[in-house]
Amino acid sequence: DRLFVGEVRGSEAFSFLRAINTGHPGSMTTVHADTPLGAYEQLAMMVMQSGLSAAYPKADLISYIRSVIPIVIQLRRDGGRRGVSEIFFARGK
């Protein structure tokens, strides 16, 4: 089974991350960010704002997010057309 969430924008980020780390490889969502690394930052901020991660420093959250979302595909709009601008593979932990 795979989980597909249209867009993560807030506190649901915590639930999404927990769900995809329970045997749902290949799951997918969208996040608004300027860079692939920025997507990890955005997700960490959403989890922090949910109030469900008070015990975890931001760096630990980002490390966890990178471990459960090892690939980020960045899209950009160029000349009115949107396309893949970067495929980022997280390495290590």
Q: What digits encode the pLDDT tens for the residues 78-89?
A: 999 999 999 999
The gap from C-alpha 9 to its chain's centroid, in whole angstroms, comes to 10
Q: Does residue 92 register a pLDDT over 80?
A: no
Mean pLDDT to the nearest integer, 9-13: 90
Total domain count for the chain?
Answer: 1
Residue 6 lies in a domain: no
What number of other Cβ atoms are within 10 A of residue 77's Cβ? 9
Task: Compute the distance between CA of residue 65 and CA of residue 93 in angstroms, rounded to an integer.
Answer: 10
Domain of residue 26 covers 12-89
Residue 5 lies in a domain: no
Task: Name the band, by pLDDT with cuts 50, 70 and 90, for residue 50.
Answer: confident
Task: Compute the distance between CA of residue 50 and CA of residue 80 in angstroms, rounded to an integer.
Answer: 35
Task: Name the band, by pLDDT with cuts 50, 70 and 90, for residue 31.
Answer: very high
pLDDT of residue 26: 87
